[in-house]
Structure 1
Amino acid sequence: MNKCQWLICLSLAAAPAAANVVNQDIYLAASIGAHEFADEAGGKFGIHFGGKNIFERGFMLGGELEFSKITNDDFEKRYSGDKEDYSLAANVPIGKRFELGGENAIDAYGLIGYSSLRVYSDTASERLDGVRWGAGVDGNFSNFLVGLRYTQGKLDSDLVGDYTEKNLSLQLGYRFQL
């Protein structure tokens, strides 16, 4: 399945089923975390924009776009000056919301998505793409969101081969309840 088909499938999976939606959240969050690529550790700073549809009994289905700036000095040293630049991802979180009373809730979810990572050197640039998966938990407190998320994916390209990407991120954000 090509990249475009994956993005279309992810978008359709995250579309709201209006008849059963009890609540909707739209959120904008920033994240900071640990990033590992090709067995070399670095850092990651991200921006997330997404939405969650909350159905009866707390079932949750969402969609999210993520942009992350990556710093990985270990990768650059090991691979003779090649650098990781940024990654783009589309994620679909699927899980359960546990209401705590008032406007407070905990969201526990798994996620599946598609990620694209840019690696470059002085003479060339390459994109590594692939499916990612993971899990997370978000605390929703009034209009604020605090979350912890782990993702992993197999990224590949025609030129440099297959590599594993792993991320552990702390998210802080603002949510708009619709």
Structure 2
Amino acid sequence: MKIVFASNNKNKIQEIKNQLPKEIELVSLEDIGCFEDIPETAETIEGNAILKANYVTERYNLPCFADDTGLEIEALNNEPGVYSARYAGEQRDSNDNMDKVLEKLMDIENRKAQFKTVITLNLNNEQYLFTGIVKGNIGTEKVGNDGFGYDPIFTPENHSITFAEMDLNQKNEISHRGRAVKQLIEFLNKQ
């Protein structure tokens, strides 16, 4: 089965490719000639995943899935949430985003947070949603060199290292995206 992943984020593509069974061929937006910036104008993580999947399905008539992810920090009223990628501005710079989070949490003891990924799958004229959540805490500094986004400041529950200190297989086992992708794969395997 060939399926489009509505992303050009090389890190996300590699994470998901690493989890897919060999009989599922993952195709990126670049592979189908889609170079537009797909609008992410919804007010929710679910809404953005739906917008991206629908964009590809409507314009390219291909089976597609899209994801959206947000970091929700309890002490910040679940910020940055749907605005995670552009929390510190439209330049979408991970270091700026992490710096803003660390600054806002500087004098706050409650560091509880969760990552949430929603995957929307458009297949055979039907739409399905899969959600993965991982709870954890925000550190006081950036630690680790792997991963991307907020990985250097997020330590998942029951672990003593950040996502950025884990190898890809370790992270995929427990991450929000890994959990949502597992649900997606289980569903696709039944098709």
TM-score (normalizing by structure 2): 0.30
Structure (1 or 2) with the greater helix fraction: 2
Structure (1 or 2) with the greater strand fraction: 1
Q: Which has the higher contact order (CA 8 A, sep 6+)?
A: 1
